[in-house]
Structure 1
């Protein structure tokens, strides 16, 4: 089976460089028409320029593909809606959205201002919400859509000095889980990727020898599968440097106690048993987890 994207239209945010550029080039190479969206700002989100996005478009067209550049900020609702309307008018449909745009404002929580926190959440979380909302009805009406969120090991497991980034990134997993349910009957599938790659976002976080083996192109195969016609839904996939793994939110079997034992002392005494991962499960929905608790009662 060869995965192709002929006659598909894809929007990739933050596609002027790094991961987004790799996604855009790979999609175009396999037949997709690509909207290369990039604000063209600095790593902390300041400034703007369309030049980065246009350079990627030039690469795609030089290789025989079809693409357009767009400089909308993902946190600008009106600009995003205008972008989506223009793409729909020009190409008739929107099949794929890859929410990749992001910024960093790393500081310890003690030194981080609320503005530092808010700005990162606005771009990563609300930017993804804004772009997804703008294409949601289009995808539902055409009974086809593939949406990819971008989480991070920071969101999944935590990293020092990235409270704002981690909070936004794990929130995207929660968003994905609900959208995968709501989009199911419309053939709109939503997944999440946790990339580890050498980009300007990570250039000072990994040693040079490792960066050489962690190019964005090592993440792109996972991204393309997760937005393909054959894609699953409700998947969190870690990818980078040739490694591909799935991440899960699991639930231990835990304990169930009688009313007279519902005390903090019981929890303390049996915490190890509650934490035992033997036989842990992955509930399909929050409702399923709640149903299990009611069933135990």
Structure 2
């Protein structure tokens, strides 16, 4: 199916309502090794990815474990799905235990040629409103690539960091993050599938979890900072159970560079704007 045939998906929109349940926040907290936020308190940055979940019956999932394509997102048949990156604006904190509404809209569909074949990029805009105020606005870039060997080796050296935290991506950690985000993509927990069908040498660490851990490490090193804008992208996948690190440094007032590194080279990177 050509990109022109997918034009019907442009502008497609859906709204999901969720009360940011405190018990679920506790599940996220123990998964990420963080304190449990109390009801009425701010939800840590990017934890909203574990809410507003897309719940479909198992009969309506594809062979990769994702919801079958062709409903909200375009079909992109016979391609492997990856979370490529995105941009998030934080206008304030989401509050635990308070109802919120997320409206998602497909804003762009673009076919590109990459080194490993054709790539279909789909951009989805999300706006989260709580107490009548748009608290979080973001764009997510999803890429569907033709089956091909993934890039696994980094070439760009990691910068000198001001803070760094080690991450041990055990199968239990990946399973728990899949569970709290209701993410049934089989590359994160099904070893025979990920190695035999998608060509990875092991389980793939979730891109959203890597971005969350990068922000978490920044918050540990800069506890008084208020996050305002985040732009992030994946350079290559991280494969469990090989350890990696999330790190960063402040480059100027209100601006920080964040990244995930493995064996001294970059795997994911982000730029964060903040207020002290």
Give TM-score, length-normalised by structure 2. Answer: 0.28
Q: Looking at CA atoms only, which structure, 1 or 2, has the larger radius of gyration?
A: 1
Q: Kindly indicate which of the two structures has a greater share of residues assigned to helix.
A: 1
TM-score by length of 1: 0.26
Higher relative contact order (CA 8 A, sep 6+): 2
